[in-house]
Structure 1
Amino acid sequence: MDAEHDRSLQVRERGNEETGSHKYEEEMARLQIELSHLQAWVKTSGARIVIIFEGRDAAGKGGLIKRLTERVSPRVFRVVALPAPTDREKTQMYMQRYVAHLPAGGEIVIFDRSWYNRPGVERVMGFCSVKQARRFLELVPRFEAAIVESGVMLLKYFLTVSEEEQERRFRRRIRDPRRQWKLSPMDLESYRRWWDYSRAYDEMIRMSDSPQAPWWIVPSDSKKRARVNCISHILKSIPYERIKYDKPELGKRQKRPDDFVDDNTARNIVPNVY
């Protein structure tokens, strides 16, 4: 009787998960339609938008950015994920390589990590001094105010995750060959230095939150909820309008020419495996 009861509970739980997943996909489809309307407005209006995503390692930034951009044009929604600076870039002004990626008219630039590397990972890992990080935090509100005053809309999101959930996600990456590439040495250090990062991020958010460019915190122990909440907030934060879509006419396909001859040269065809 107990075994039958357990099986019944498992079936019911699976049903609830499927229902929840179905509702999530419906909501995500609706949001992605709105993102397509936003895209049309950005192209038509020449708007310039910057969206910054920062947060804890394994907080779900990559998945959120993927859902945000998977149904729109990469020419409009441009993702910037810069690697470690080169020797040449290390001699430049810190902000110099980021400024080069700011949007032109009709573009949304999404920073997957941004200039906030300095008060975060660079500070904690010793790639810059505490003095350099604090000087950055003193100057960055003015830098962002200048961006906004130039007509660029700037949105900043910080994804949070609990210690327990971060560990669960890291262990899943270790077990799953499809996810192992996601686990870097820096991720392992972020796991070990949880409280060092906590202090650094708290100071970063406190000192760089401003009326022109406030931080928005995204709790992400539930990745699906975080994605829906954040994309919904982005859409509500941008005063876009729906642009009328002029449906094109396909016209008539040309007729096959009387003198057209099929090419029977042998060709390599990918075999069916499915």
Structure 2
Amino acid sequence: MDDDLLDRIHRDLRDSLDEELELELEDHQRNVPSTGGIPVTNDEHDARKRYFRELFRLQAELVKLQDWVVASKHKVVILFEGRDAAGKGGVIKRITQRLNPRVCRVAALPAPNDRERTQWYFQRYVAHLPAAGEIVLFDRSWYNRAGVERVMGFCTDAQYEEFFRSVPEFERMLARSGIQVLKYWFSISDEEQQMRFLGRIHDPLKQWKLSPMDLESRRRWEEYTKAKEVMLERTHIPEAPWWVVHADDKKRARLNCIHHLLGQMPYEEVAHPTIELPDRERHGDYARQTLPEGIFIPEIF
């Protein structure tokens, strides 16, 4: 492996560590330390500070959007599609990170079981659609049929064509019922996917993300490209248009996607009543019981 590629993998690993550190940051903190013992230039440090500053700002807007969705009883479905390692999970994580899981939830369906394969194709997805005041993010969606199922031969030509006949009307039905449908395709280059796959191979914390299907998708890059082009052409409709996210730079992709998402809904800040913490009641006849030492976990740290 050449030195430039190895350096990119190390930098990607450092970015991943940054993301985990970010989960521990207080909202008011804006400085992100260097991580993993990997040298960081001043320019990189400044760029990461800007990234986290913008991310926190956008996440604050997402909280406002969430409040508006609840107050207005809006219903939103957001589909995230793209090649393996394109960064779909990363942006979903950033969107949901500070939101109420009862309002904003993720649907990441496994491969259909034997029973589900005999159902109407959209049936198992319908069960996850939002009620009023909910946002559902699909980490992959019914477009599996236009992508992996087509390329890997998991559906017949007739099923593939029926999907394209059905999906525009299915999404129009959702729109007519009051569900807003947003569809994002995360686009990465051949070289970037190769680098991310190599990063997963060499990072024991990410090896679980690589499946035999992922490796086969790497081999069939061109077939996936053709399937994507057909999918975008045949399912880009006014009621549910596709939006393409340039995703070679993961941080920029996240910020751009969240910024665009916020612009797709006419949300406004919802006024909340002032919250006051009540005084705790105290009763003279109450005595806290002492728990047996044996039920406490060892304090290793």
| Same fold flag (TM > 0.5) | yes
Supply the distance in 2 between the matched residues of 1:261 and 1:102 (Cα, whole angstroms): 46
Supply the distance in 2 between the matched residues of 1:191 and 1:23 (Cα, whole angstroms): 33
Supply the distance in 1 between the matched residues of 2:135 and 2:248 (Cα, whole angstroms): 27
Supply the distance in 2 between the matched residues of 1:267 and 1:249 (Cα, whole angstroms): 38
Residue deviations 1:146-184, cap 9 Å, x none?
A: 110111111000001111110000001001100000001
Work out which of the residue numbers 53, 70, 85 in structure 2 matches 1:26.
Answer: 53
Secondary structure, counterpart of 1:109 in structure 2: strand
Query: Are 2:84 and 1:50 aligned?
Result: no
Query: Are 2:225 and 1:188 aligned?
Result: no
Supply the distance in 1 between the matched residues of 2:42 and 2:72 (Cα, whole angstroms): 45
Match of 2:287 in 1: 260
Match of 2:206 in 1: 179
Query: Are 2:138 and 1:104 aligned?
Result: no
Secondary structure, counterpart of 2:136 in structure 1: strand
Distance of aligned partners of 1:217 and 1:264 in 2 relative to their CA distance in 1, 3 Å threshold: closer
Query: Are 2:116 and 1:118 aligned?
Result: no
Which segments of structure 1 move beyond 6 Å, counting only runs of 4 or more? none
C-alpha RMSD over aligned residues: 1.6
Residue deviations 1:97-155, cap 9 Å, x none?
A: 11111111111011110000001000000000233212211221111111101111110
Structure 1 gap ranges (5+):
1-10
Distance of aligned partners of 1:266 and 1:12 in 2 relative to their CA distance in 1, 3 Å threshold: closer
Supply the distance in 2 between the matched residues of 1:130 and 1:76 (Cα, whole angstroms): 38
Match of 2:183 in 1: 156
Aligned residue pairs total 264
- The answer as to whether partners of 1:138 and 1:207 remain within 8 angstroms in 2 is no
Match of 1:93 in 2: 120
Distance of aligned partners of 1:144 and 1:259 in 2 relative to their CA distance in 1, 3 Å threshold: closer
One-letter amino acid matched to 1:166: Q
Match of 2:195 in 1: 168
Supply the distance in 1 between the matched residues of 2:202 and 2:98 (Cα, whole angstroms): 30
- The answer as to whether partners of 1:28 and 1:228 remain within 8 angstroms in 2 is yes
Secondary structure, counterpart of 2:244 in structure 1: strand
Shift of residue 233, structure 1, vs aligned partner: 0.5
Distance of aligned partners of 1:208 and 1:253 in 2 relative to their CA distance in 1, 3 Å threshold: same
Q: TM-score, with normalisation over the residues of structure 1?
A: 0.92
Query: Are 2:241 and 1:214 aligned?
Result: yes
Secondary structure, counterpart of 2:77 in structure 1: strand
Supply the distance in 2 between the matched residues of 1:71 and 1:117 (Cα, whole angstroms): 28
Query: Are 2:162 and 1:135 aligned?
Result: yes
Match of 2:44 in 1: 17
One-letter amino acid matched to 1:143: F
Shift of residue 258, structure 1, vs aligned partner: 5.5
Aligned identity (percent) is 53
Residue deviations 1:42-92, cap 9 Å, x none?
A: 111111100000001100001110001010011111100111111111111
Q: TM-score, with normalisation over the residues of structure 2?
A: 0.84
- The answer as to whether partners of 1:119 and 1:134 remain within 8 angstroms in 2 is no
Residues 210-219 or 247-256, more deviating: 247-256
Shift of residue 256, structure 1, vs aligned partner: 6.0
- The answer as to whether partners of 1:54 and 1:157 remain within 8 angstroms in 2 is yes
Supply the distance in 2 between the matched residues of 1:205 and 1:186 (Cα, whole angstroms): 22
Match of 1:4 in 2: none
Structure 2 gap ranges (5+):
1-37
Supply the distance in 1 between the matched residues of 2:172 and 2:285 (Cα, whole angstroms): 66
Secondary structure, counterpart of 1:217 in structure 2: strand
One-letter amino acid matched to 2:87: G
